[in-house]
Amino acid sequence: MVNLPLEALRPIAEIDAPPGIDNLPVQPTHFVGRERELERLDAALLVSGPVLVQAVHGLGGIGKTTLVAQWAATRDHGHAPLRWITADTAASVERGLAEFATALQPVLAQALTVAQLADRALQWLSTHHDWLVVLDNVENHSDIADILARAHSGRILITSRRATGWQTATTIVRIDVLDPDESVALLIDTMTIDGPRNSDGDSELCAALGHLPLAIDQAGAYLAQNPLLTPRDYLTMLSLYPAEMFQHGAEVTDPQRTIARIWQVTVDKVTTAHPAAIDVLRRLAWFAPDDIPVNLFAGLAAPPALHAAIGALAAYNMISVHSGSASVSIHRLVQAVARTPDIDNLHDSEAALERAHADAAAVLLRALPGHPHPSTWATWRRLLPHVDTLIAHHDHHNNANLLATTTDILNLTGQFLDDQGSHNQAIDYIQRALIDSERAVGTDHPRTLTTRNNLALAYRSVGRFAEAIPLYERTLADRERVLGIDHLDTLTSRNNLADAYRSVGRFAEAIPLYERALADSTEALGIEHPSIVSSRNNLAAAYESTGRLTEAIALFELTIDDSERILGTDHPTILTSRNNLAAAYQSAGRLAEAVQLFELTLDARERILGVDHPDTLTSRNNLAAAYQSAGRLAEAVQLFELTLDARERIQGIDHPHTLTARNNLATAYQSSGRLTEALSLLELAMTECEQLLGADHPDTFVARCVLAEGYERANRLSDAGQLYERALADIEPAFGPDHPSTLFIRSILARLRGQGHLADG
pLDDT at 2 over 60: no
Question: From CA 659, how far away is CA 758, in angstroms rounded?
Answer: 29
Highest mean pLDDT among 138-142, 147-151, 443-447: 443-447
Least-confidence region, from 243-257, 345-359, 619-633, 698-712: 243-257
Query: Residues 557-570: what's their mean pLDDT?
Result: 77
> Percentage of the chain surpassing pLDDT 90?
20
Which carries the bigger pLDDT value, residue 10 or residue 677? 677
Question: From CA 392, how far away is CA 144, in angstroms rounded?
Answer: 20
Strand (E) or helix (H) holding 55:
strand 52-57
The pLDDT, as a whole number, for residue 251 is 37
The pLDDT, as a whole number, for residue 451 is 93
Question: From CA 695, how far away is CA 6, in angstroms rounded?
Answer: 38
User: Is 205 in contact with 186 (CB distance < 8 Å)?
Assistant: no
pLDDT at 602 over 90: yes
Pinpoint the alpha helices (H) of 549-651: 549-567, 572-587, 591-608, 614-629, 633-646
Q: Which of 367, 398, 432 is the last residue of a domain?
A: 367
Report the DSSP beta bridge partners of residue 84.
134
**Strand, coil or helix: 327:** strand
pLDDT at 258 over 90: no
The pLDDT, as a whole number, for residue 585 is 92
* 161, 247: one domain: no
Q: How far is CA 344 from CA 20, 110, 350, 448, in A?
A: 50, 51, 11, 40
**Domain-embedded: residue 216:** yes
**Domain-embedded: residue 205:** yes
Query: Residues 457-481: what's their mean pLDDT?
Result: 91
The pLDDT, as a whole number, for residue 37 is 74
Question: From CA 67, how far away is CA 87, in angstroms rounded?
Answer: 17
* 711, 752: one domain: yes
Cα-to-chain-centroid distance, residue 320: 27
pLDDT at 693 over 60: yes
The average confidence (pLDDT) of the chain is: 82
The pLDDT, as a whole number, for residue 761 is 54
* 165, 190: one domain: no
The pLDDT, as a whole number, for residue 759 is 65
* 49, 188: one domain: no
Highest mean pLDDT among 191-195, 253-257, 352-356, 699-703: 352-356
* 242, 218: one domain: yes
The pLDDT, as a whole number, for residue 253 is 45
Highest mean pLDDT among 70-84, 447-461, 658-672: 447-461
* 247, 191: one domain: yes
Amino acid at 425: Q
Helix/strand/coil percent split, the chain, to 5 = 70, 5, 30
For 35-83, how does the pLDDT look when each residue is reduced to its tens digit (9 = 90+)?
777 777 777 666 655 455 666 655 555 667 777 888 888 877 778 898 9
Question: Which CATH number characterizes residue 49's domain?
Answer: 3.40.50.300
Structural domain containing residue 202? 180-367
Question: Which CATH number characterizes residue 679's domain?
Answer: 1.25.40.10
Q: Which of 120, 146, 174 is the last residue of a domain?
A: 174
Highest mean pLDDT among 177-186, 297-306, 523-532, 700-709: 297-306
**Strand, coil or helix: 257:** helix
pLDDT at 593 over 50: yes
* 163, 184: one domain: no
**Domain-embedded: residue 220:** yes
* 258, 345: one domain: yes
**Domain-embedded: residue 239:** yes
Cα-to-chain-centroid distance, residue 6: 27
Domain count, the chain: 3
For 295-313, how does the pLDDT look when each residue is reduced to its tens digit (9 = 90+)?
999 888 898 999 999 988 8
Nearest by Cα to 221 from 194, 192, 190, 200:
190
* 12, 144: one domain: yes
Q: Which of 144, 174, 204 is the last residue of a domain?
A: 174
**Domain-embedded: residue 430:** no
User: Is 456 in contact with 472 (CB distance < 8 Å)?
Assistant: yes
Least-confidence region, from 5-14, 304-313, 376-385: 5-14
**Domain-embedded: residue 756:** yes
**CA dihedral for 584, 586, 592, 595, sign (positive or negative):** positive
Question: From CA 396, how far away is CA 402, in angstroms rounded?
Answer: 8
Sheet containing 171-174, strands listed edge to edge, beginning at the edge strand earlier in sequence? 82-86, 132-138, 155-160, 52-57, 171-174
* 70, 193: one domain: no
User: Is 147 in contact with 93 (CB distance < 8 Å)?
Assistant: yes
The pLDDT, as a whole number, for residue 252 is 38
**Domain-embedded: residue 709:** yes
**CA dihedral for 430, 660, 375, 488, sign (positive or negative):** negative
* 162, 222: one domain: no
**Domain-embedded: residue 502:** no
* 165, 294: one domain: no
pLDDT at 3 over 50: no
**Strand, coil or helix: 82:** strand
